[in-house]
Structure 1
């Protein structure tokens, strides 16, 4: 893993997956590496009632029912669509599920405006076609086709960002479970999906209206909605867990003080309240104020303090990072943050003290620099 900037889940947690597979006696689909119960344990962590002789850490923080519905869907003939606001952990859950089911989470298609039908079916090695003609050897299978041929999980990120033509091409894959290759004849002209194949797609609920899914495609998916985390304790645990992972990746040995984590959580909570009561888009931040963005703010502050500060996290740096990360539009976002710091944080710093005065100073200084 030291040679990888970011190891996929099946490599990062290979030891846990090996252990769970060795003790797994539960019923499972024939090609799955783990049973549904063990997949739930891998994703949500172990409990004393599981009877395991080692602890399995929690990796995704959400309701048990969401994970169970997702796993049941993968065991059926339908695709799984994880839908929710930005930063709710859709992609991370999809990666964990693919790693637990087939020990391969890297068969991914990223949906964009430039995604074509070739990206989900196949393309050709032009030099081999010129030299030898079209054949299975000269074909370049897409990640989805590879998943079909190996009976594993294929992933499609940001499905609603891709065009309707690409979405339509996915319909036949999900319903017929094969891909026709008209350029080839005989058995080579059809690629059939093997048992165990399924597709996990994600969709951003804020992209509604970009490229809406057709009714036909919707029928091929089971929808599992990932809600925004509203419980402060759960959100604090997510931020702490992901930040610790990032610090280990950067090989930084630094503790995040609970008081500063509380400042970050309360600030995002305040700004979400502002967004909820805003009368127009100009009165709310462009940022979705997601849990993922909180993690980004905290990582930025930690790295800045490590490389340019006293190798510690301070409230001043945290305030500066929050403003620097969230002030994306000028002058709209700057005005919203100025109003928030002046009308909410300043009275709080005078009343509560603690980390708030330095947090206020860091935020205001950065706003001045951006002006």
Structure 2
């Protein structure tokens, strides 16, 4: 399968050659029908080190604490589901995709949790025209991604679990505990049993607490791995560089990311988080989660703007405009917060440090004025 024909290739396609090579040298014990051993899964996600003694370097793809990845892998080797929980933009879905790709070479069996998600989305539905023509049978049944994962003995994914209703969550309890789905409409062949290797990786947004809280029964069937917001500037810089280089390759753009501008972006988000943490009410906080993912979005916006409407050189003025435009989601509340931030934080920094900070100051001011 060629990833050039996809807007965004899944991890098992994007890293197919790398996964093939890891599988060819992997002599470690593998649980169930796993394609890679747990050690190789960890190496695929976190990248190789000289001490691994490999003939080629494996790049790091997810940046976070090693223990989070190891606990996730161990959970998937057991009979419990894995729940990755954390703030928006902390890389939960990306980690789930990488784990699925490494374990079973299929990360696309996904259910997206919403208020409109029903039991059919995690069990099965029917092809109405086939039912009318031939009646209900296994051939006229449309299995959900979760049921398909059960039949194949692979990983199924459930995104934003806490956004789905309690009925859907309750239906998931029986799948996780009994490991089969009954089909009462059929007289024969009316049970789908999960094959060895089946598991579920779910994600939950910690900001959705109170939307549809998980029952204690469902919680018992998951091992929780909490993914914190990345606050270490070095780690965050590595994530932003990694994801931005991928975006540049995807858009076929040759543009250098000046280190000084990356520092300005990282420092601005750090300062905004500090201001948000000290705010006394929600009205004084930006609606944005100020996550690493949002930094990447700001940078991508600035790069594309420079490529298509600028002189193909990323500048501080363009970066500031992208930052303000991306974070000003509520008007006038967010604009007022950003205006205060620009006067109280960015302006003093531009006086103290000069250089690109001065253009960053002016670019932000212009965008705030234009949006006000």
TM-score normalised by the shorter chain: which range applies?
Answer: over 0.9
Q: Is residue 2:45 matched to residue 1:40? A: no
- Listed one character per residue, the Cα deviations across residues 42-99 of structure 1 (whole Å, up to 9, x for unaligned) are 0000111211101100000011111000000000000000000111000000000000
Question: What is the match of residue 106 of structure 1?
Answer: 108
Q: Secondary structure at the match of 2:174?
A: helix
The residue number in structure 1 matching 2:293 is: 292
Q: Which residue of 1 aligns with 2:76?
A: 74
2:17 aligned to which of 11, 15, 18: 15
Which stretch shows the higher mean deviation, 45-54 or 87-96? 45-54
Note the alpha carbon deviations across 1:90-117, whole angstroms, 9 max, x for none: 0000000000000000000000011010
- Counterpart residue number, 2:362: 361
In 2, Cα distance between equivalents of 1:6 and 1:352: 39
Q: How far does residue 30 in structure 1 lie from its aligned partner after superposition?
A: 2.9
1:230 aligns with 231
Unaligned runs of 5+ in 2: none
Number of paired residues? 370
Q: Secondary structure at the match of 1:228?
A: coil
SS at match of 1:155: strand
1:329 aligns with: 330
Q: How does 1:1-371 map to 2 (within 5 A)?
A: 1-186=3-188, 188-371=189-372
Distance in structure 1 (CA, Å) of the matches to 2:187 and 2:54: 52
Deviations 1:230-272 (A, max 9, x none): 1100000001100111111111111110000000000000000
CA distance in 1, matches of 2:220, 2:348: 52
- Provide the C-alpha distance between the structure 1 equivalents of 2:20 and 2:315, rounded to a whole number of angstroms: 40
After TM superposition, what 4+ stretches of structure 1 lie above 4 angstroms from structure 2?
Answer: none
2: CA distance, partners of 1:51 / 1:180: 48
What is the CA distance between 1:185 and its match in structure 2?
Answer: 1.4
SS at match of 2:5: coil
Q: TM-score w.r.t. structure 1 length?
A: 0.99
Mapped to 1, the partners of 2:32 and 2:207 lie a distance apart of 37
Distance of 1:10 and 1:85 partners within structure 2: 26
Distance across 1 between alignment mates of 2:66 and 2:25: 22
SS of structure 1 residue aligned to 2:45 = helix
2:142 and 2:365 mapped to 1: Cα distance? 54
Stretches of structure 1 lacking an aligned partner (at least 5 in a row): none
Query: The residue matched to 1:145 in structure 2 has which SS?
Result: helix
* Structure 1: distance between partners of 2:211 and 2:324: 29
Distance, in Å, in 2 between the alignment partners of 1:59 and 1:193 is 30
